[in-house]
């Protein structure tokens, strides 16, 4: 198994579909005629695209990598490909948007990942009857997945040889075709690259999407990169988006990363190439919380000591000799009580604010022996936590123990 340092990253869904302000799969979801939908590509001219702004926003939020949709299901290519005229190079903009982003990433030390959709609704041999998301695939000829795979190999070769080091490969929509030669090609072109599990073999890491309630608090057994968008309805830009609450997104980020996973948070730039203010402000708010964690969510180890934490869901991790308690659903009161602890604390810090918290070791009257009525156990009682002021955030406590 490869070494996997979990990271916080930015997912970017962007294509000419952003001009519609509906959804990245507007072609299918709104059942548009092909000639109507694809005509929008002829006027795609994102003159406000400034990838350096994207990279600096991600960096400000504590993100370490950007995953860019080189090609989504509609088959439109956001790079200079010689295998299709259905690309950014054949629009009024006429510039390689991926190359511009790659240059900005390399300039600012940001890792770059590539998203590539296996379904292709434009390529003449894009139809794969074994897979899903084939609603708008061209079907005026017999399916030929051999030609489709050759097309994919040719385009992946461009993507992995023309844009510098690539951190990870994000295939989308499992093709349900076993062809190990494709990921072998990926690894040959980019030694050390990480590959997800939605391609032509099992890859290196899993990619749970949106389904956070199905994920327990147990440590992930394999490399995992959870992903979600700031918007509930769309991954691409949507003008009247329904945005997730800060509480929902921050809780998911804390829980997934405390379990050892990476987290990829998506934004959808506009048709002009900008990350709209309502998207940006959410990324910055999340970044404020993430940066307050001072790196405790990255490369931490599980802490398996049974602390007997009362009444609250939590995940405990260890890093640099300290324990971090991640209360990903916040707290039910302004105190945390531990019935077991390895020693007394040197200090207890509320990571959200950096404040040092008060504590004592004392019986608590609500926790008593039912036979005697006596509160017998002495708890490590940490109190005065400003839960109401931090109601939209997971609470994270750092304890440095006495040796």
Q: What is the pLDDT of residues 192-231, one digit of tens each?
A: 999 999 999 999 999 999 976 667 778 998 999 999 999 9
Residue 215, pLDDT score: 74
Does residue 227 contact residue 264 with C-beta atoms inside 8 Å? Answer: yes
Could you tell me what percent of the chain has a pLDDT over 70?
98
- What confidence category does residue 308 fall into, taking pLDDT thresholds of 50, 70 and 90? very high
Is residue 4 predicted with pLDDT exceeding 90?
no
Q: What is the mean pLDDT of residues 16-41?
A: 98
What structural domains and CATH numbers belong to the chain? 8-292 (3.20.20.80), 301-401 (2.60.40.1180)
Write the CA distances from 100 to 55, 76, 157, 229, integer angstroms: 11, 17, 18, 23
- Residue closest to 14 by CA, chosen among 97, 108, 92: 97
Q: What is the pLDDT of residue 3?
A: 45
Question: pLDDT digit string (tens) for 381-401?
Answer: 999 999 999 999 999 999 999
- Express each pLDDT in 155-202 by its tens digit: 999 999 999 999 999 999 999 999 999 999 999 999 999 999 999 999
Terminal alpha carbon distance of the chain = 34
SS3 content of the chain, % helix, strand, coil (to 5): 25, 20, 50
CA dihedral sign, ordered 371, 376, 381, 384: positive
| Prediction pTM value | 0.96
CA-to-CA distance for 148 and 143, rounded, in angstroms?
9
Tokens representing 226?
């959870």
Q: How many CA atoms lie within 13 A of 121 on its CB side?
A: 21
Q: What is the mean pLDDT of residues 245-267?
A: 97
Other C-beta atoms closer than 10 Å to the C-beta of 41 total 20
Whether 24 has a pLDDT exceeding 70, the answer reads: yes
Torsion of CA 40, 53, 294, 287, to 10 degrees: -50
pLDDT of residue 1: 33
Backbone angles phi, psi at 40, to 5 degrees: -65, -25
Q: How confident is the model at residue 5 (pLDDT cuts 50, 70, 90)?
A: confident
The DSSP secondary structure of 72-137, one letter per residue, reads -TT--BSS--SS-SSBGGGSSS-S-HHHHHHHHHHHTT-EEEEEEES--SSSTT---TTSS--TT-
Work out the pLDDT band at 2, boundaries 50, 70, 90: very low
The pLDDT assigned to 108 comes to 98
pLDDT one-digit tens code per residue, 103-132:
999 999 999 999 999 999 999 999 999 999
């Amino acid at each position: 198994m490869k070494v996997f340092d979990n990271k916080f990253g930015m997912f970017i869904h962007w294509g000419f579909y952003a001009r519609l302000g509906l959804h990245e799969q507007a072609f299918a979801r709104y059942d548009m005629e092909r000639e109507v939908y694809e005509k929008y590509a002829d006027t795609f001219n994102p003159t406000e695209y400034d990838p350096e702004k994207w990279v600096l926003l991600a960096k400000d939020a504590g993100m370490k990598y950007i995953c860019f949709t080189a090609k989504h299901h509609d088959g439109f290519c956001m790079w200079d490909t010689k295998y299709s005229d259905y690309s950014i190079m054949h629009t009024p903009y006429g510039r390689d948007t991926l190359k511009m982003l790659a240059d900005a990433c390399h300039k600012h030390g940001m890792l770059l990942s590539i998203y590539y959709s296996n379904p292709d609704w434009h390529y003449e041999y894009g139809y794969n009857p074994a897979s899903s998301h084939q609603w708008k695939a061209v079907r005026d000829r017999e399916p030929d997945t051999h030609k489709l795979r050759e097309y994919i190999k040719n385009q992946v070769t461009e993507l992995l040889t023309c844009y510098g080091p690539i951190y990870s490969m994000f295939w989308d929509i499992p093709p349900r075709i076993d062809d190990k030669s494709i990921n072998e090609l990926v690894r040959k072109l980019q030694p050390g690259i990480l590959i997800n599990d939605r391609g032509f073999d099992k890859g290196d890491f899993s990619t749970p999407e949106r389904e956070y309630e199905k994920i327990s608090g147990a440590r992930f057994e394999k490399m995992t990169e959870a992903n979600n968008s700031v918007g509930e309805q769309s991954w691409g830009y949507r003008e009247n988006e329904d945005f997730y609450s800060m509480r929902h997104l921050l809780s998911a980020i804390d829980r997934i990363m405390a379990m050892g996973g990476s987290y990829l948070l998506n934004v959808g730039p506009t048709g002009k190439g900008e990350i709209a203010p309502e998207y940006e402000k959410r990324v910055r708010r999340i970044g404020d919380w993430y940066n307050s964690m001072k790196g405790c969510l990255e490369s931490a180890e599980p802490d398996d000591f049974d602390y007997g934490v009362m009444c609250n869901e939590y995940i405990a991790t260890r890093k640099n000799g300290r324990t971090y308690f991640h209360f990903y659903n916040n707290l039910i009161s302004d105190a945390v009580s531990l019935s077991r602890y390895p020693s007394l604390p040197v200090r207890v810090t509320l990571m959200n604010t950096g404040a040092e918290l008060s504590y004592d070791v004392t019986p608590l009257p609500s926790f008593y022996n039912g036979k005697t009525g006596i509160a017998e156990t002495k708890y490590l009682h940490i109190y005065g936590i400003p839960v109401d002021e931090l109601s939209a955030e997971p609470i994270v406590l750092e304890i440095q123990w006495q040796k």
